[in-house]
Structure 1
Amino acid sequence: MSTIEQNLQQVTERISSTARQCGRDPQEITLLAVSKTKPVTVIEEAIRAGQTAFGENYVQEGIEKISYFQQKAVTTPLSWHFIGPLQSNKSRLVAEHFDWLHTLDRRQLAQRLNNQRPQALAPLNVLIQINISGEDSKSGILPAGLAELAAQVAELPRLRLRGLMAIPAPQADYQRQLAVFQKMAAIFGDLRRRHPGVDTLSLGMTDDMPAAIVAGSTLVRIGTAIFGARDYQAPTA
């Protein structure tokens, strides 16, 4: 068994254990392997171990990986998620290549993505990013702006509003992590009442995954626990 396979098994077991302890079905929770800055060789290991959903932060790097696996004609259906901040001048690349965008935060970007999504592809799955900690340095909208933006996105035929994503300010204390995630879960519940098709709450990374699952996350974004420390010498395009 490879190191990547072992790591994936350990993360999956941790997800299952945490879910069962709080009375949730582990099948409700998707594991997104954050593969940014990692070479295709380790992604291939993850695919062989059964992982199919991957998250990328850098547009060009992500497209190169997507193209690599398309050219290899991998038989396993893969799902590619763009999880980094997206500049408007790169929206076409995401619209044309990715399956998901986790960081939608403005109407103009939504309109561009809608116009640029190829008709041959299924609508782009989008999550609205919430700046739940109110940090000036963080991307995302404040909760007060969610209803308006969600209504606008729901009207765009080439986008599919799937839910919310947040990256709260780091907290070492579990109870503080949980409190912020529960706040996000309440906002998510309100969004689902307004838009019944919404089904995804993207919360939790390696250091705060248990609290996110207890609060109700349906998708956890795990990189370090699967692939190890990241190489930030990688391109940032």
Structure 2
Amino acid sequence: MRKGSIPENLNSVTERIVTACDSCDRQADTVTLLAVSKTRPAEDLRVAYNAGQRHFGENYLQEALDKQETLADCEITWHFIGPLQSNKTRDVAEHFHWLHSLDRLKIARRLSEQRPPELPPLNVCLQVNIDDEDSKSGVTPEKLSELAAAVAVLPNLQLRGLMAIPAPRGANDDQRTPFLQLAELLKDLRTQLPEQPLDTLSMGMSGDMEAAIFSGATIVRIGTDIFGSRKR
């Protein structure tokens, strides 16, 4: 559970990012902190926003839409990071800046078709099931290239990179292994799709953020260490 206030916790997480970047000769501004705000009330997001946080990640669509309405006066960049069903693509296409969990071409096509023309393309990351876990969503590494090529030509999506949620490992060095594998997959995609701005590795959470940053993460998704344990 969190021990300090939300602003104090944001500062603490930011310091961890700086320290992790220093340890591997990276600039701290190459890592974006995504505050995972699922189940948290809009008031908590506003506190974080007033403390300087701008990127928020949501898993539950209706809850997110309600928060967006409440926080319409805030210049928030909204990321949808949960599994997405085909009957909910329109709301994501219309109300979010990023989707991190794209793993099916059917979903991608619907998002592209439903993205309002007055909005810029929706930034998307392909979720990779890096450990081939039955309990997790994501495209397999073997099918990643085919999916990426198909998504890259859709007119209202912008393919930005990859996302993964690896299984926990015991040691920090062991935890780096799947993150480094994801980084290598992104490197391969850059060769395959040189015209795409493949600049994003969305990986790392409260418990493994340092290992992810060492391995090249550009977005870390932090919830518990900012807001405390989930309400449900």
User: What TM-score does the superposition give when structure 1 sets the normalisation length?
Assistant: 0.94
Measured in 1, the distance between the counterparts of 2:170 and 2:88 equals 35
Partner of 1:125: 123
Q: Which moved more, 1:49-58 or 1:170-179?
A: 170-179
Amino acid at match of 2:224: T
**Counterpart of 2:50?**
48
Instruction: Return the letter of the residue paired with 1:125.
Output: N
* TM-superposed deviation, 1:152: 0.7
* Counterpart position of 2:182: 184
Secondary structure (helix, strand or coil) at the match of 1:33 reads strand
2:80 maps to a residue whose letter is: F
Matches within 5 A, 1:128-207: 128-196=126-194, 197-207=197-207
Q: Report whether the alignment pairs 1:88 with 2:70.
A: no
Q: Deviations over 1:71-128 (max 9, x none)?
A: xx23xx2100000000111111111111110000011110000001111111110000
Aligned partner of 2:113 in structure 1 is 115
Q: CA deviation at 1:206?
A: 0.1
Unaligned ranges ≥5, structure 1: 233-237
Structure 1 CA distance for aligned equivalents of residues 170 and 40 of structure 2: 26
Number of aligned residue pairs: give it.
227
- Percent identity between matched residues is 55
After TM superposition, give the deviation of residue 194 of structure 1 in Å. 2.4
| Alpha-carbon distance between aligned partners in 2 of 1:85 and 1:101, rounded to the nearest angstrom | 10
| Residue type of the alignment partner of 2:176 | L
Counterparts of 1:173 and 1:52 in 2: how far apart (Å)?
Answer: 32
List 4+ stretches of structure 1 deviating above 6 A.
Answer: none
**Residue aligned with 2:160, SS:** strand
Which residue of the partner structure matches residue 28 of structure 2?
26
Q: What's 1:59 paired with?
A: 61
Aligned Cα RMSD in Å? Answer: 1.0
Deviation of 1:3 (Å): 0.7
CA distance in 1, matches of 2:193, 2:207: 31
Q: 2-side partners of 1:171 and 1:84: how far apart?
A: 22
Paired position in structure 2 for 1:37: 39
Q: How far, CA to CA, are the matches of 1:69 and 1:41 in structure 2?
A: 9
CA distance in 1, matches of 2:104, 2:71: 31
In the aligned structure 1, how far is the partner of 2:214 from the partner of 2:60? 30
Q: C-alpha displacement at 1:69, in angstroms?
A: 1.4
1:24 & 1:194 partners in 2: Cα distance?
26
Q: What CA deviation, in whole Å up to 9, does each residue of 1:29-87 have, x standing for no partner?
A: 000000000001110110011000000000100111112111xx23xx21000000001
Residues in 2 aligned to 1:134 and 1:39: alpha-carbon distance in whole angstroms: 34
TM-score when normalising by structure 2 = 0.96
The amino acid that maps onto 2:90 is: R
